[in-house]
Amino acid sequence: MIGRLNHVAIAVPDLKAATAIYRDTLGAQVSEEVDQPEHGVTTVFIELPNTKIELLGLLGEGSPIASFLERNPNGGIHHLCYEVPDIMEARDRLVAKGARVLGKGDPKIGAHGKPVLFLHPKDFCGTLVELEQA
């Protein structure tokens, strides 16, 4: 069911410092910062030949990455995003298998303008999984 690894998301306490590490130390192409108020984060995307890295910085009160950054003050891998051809079909199939979808269970429009869902890390090997309709 799942297809390509769309991105690996890394939550960071200082988005500008993290962007500089990827741009200046690792020599990657980095995007501008984009606020995602719907998701409580500011994102920077890094294009790699085979996938992307999504840097996540805090945006506003009650950001979903706030507690993660409390537990991981230096930042860390926050989620993996896999592509699926049909997000509603994927959701129904996963729910039928007992997986928990976070939030109300309906897709939101993600950072790339495509529908996304998040799956409970306890059901997926301790990893928060994002599904994005390709």
- Smallest distance from the beta carbon of 112 to Co ion, in angstroms? 9
For residue 130, state whether it binds Co ion (rule: CB under 5 A): yes
For residue 9, state whether it binds Co ion (rule: CB under 5 A): yes
CA quadruple 1, 116, 99, 73: dihedral, nearest 10: 120
For residue 83, state whether it binds Co ion (rule: CB under 5 A): no
Single out the residue of 115, 121, 91 nearest to residue 105, CA to CA.
91
For residue 41, state whether it binds Co ion (rule: CB under 5 A): no
Q: What is the CA radius of gyration of the chain?
A: 15
Judge whether 130 counts as a catalytic residue.
yes
- Smallest distance from the beta carbon of 109 to Co ion, in angstroms? 12
Catalytic residue positions, numbered: 130
Sites of contact with Co ion (CB under 5 A): 9, 54, 81, 130
